[in-house]
Amino acid sequence: MTQSVRPLSPHLQVYRWQIQMVTSIVHRATGIALAAGSLLIVAGLLALAAGPESWSCFTAHAGAWYGLAFLVAWTWALAFHLLNGVRHLLQDAGFGFAVDRFVRNGWLVVVGSVVLTIIVWVALAARGVFA
């Protein structure tokens, strides 16, 4: 097959941004981010197995400002991918394809992911982790 330099779909620059495409793009982006984040979970397990010194090194990074920023982002990415994943499973089963439902469920996922993230970090604060 000859490789051509024709422009390839999707032509993102000619579309008006709408919730349907944003949730689809963000689902992929959060999936990629979570795959990378899973590597850090494995790093944590390896540090835990290696002993107290490596573990305290790991928790020091996790508790630093960049570690906490990453963990907040990780929480939101997981919440979004989880909720949007449930939406995809329901769509696979044939539900929620009417345009108004599709748009409403998209916004439900966006708002729900932020709410879930806040719940997790409020729970952490309530446990006195940051005290």
Partner 1 sequence: MNASDRLRAPLKQARGLGSAKSGTQHFIIQRVTAVALLFLSLYVCGLLVCLAGADHATVRATVAHPCHAVLLAAFVIAAFWHAQLGLQVVIEDYVHAAGAAMLAQMLVRFVCVLAALAGLFAIIRIAAGA
Residues that bind partner 1 (CB under 8 A): 3, 8, 28, 31-32, 34-35, 38-39, 41-42, 45-46, 48-49, 51-52, 55-56, 75, 78, 82, 85-86, 88-89, 92, 120, 123-124, 127-129
49 or 98: whose CB is closer to partner 1?
49
16 or 52: whose CB is closer to partner 1?
52
- The distance of closest approach from Cβ of residue 35 to partner 1 in the complex, given in angstroms and rounded to an integer, is 4
- The distance of closest approach from Cβ of residue 100 to partner 1 in the complex, given in angstroms and rounded to an integer, is 26
- The distance of closest approach from Cβ of residue 107 to partner 1 in the complex, given in angstroms and rounded to an integer, is 21
Structure-token pair, residue 92: 């696979």
CB-CB contact of 75 with 121 (8 Å): yes
| SS3 state at 111 | helix
Question: CB neighbours of 77 closer than 8 A, spacing ≥ 6?
Answer: 30, 33, 34, 37
Question: CB neighbours of 120 closer than 8 A, spacing ≥ 6?
Answer: 75, 79
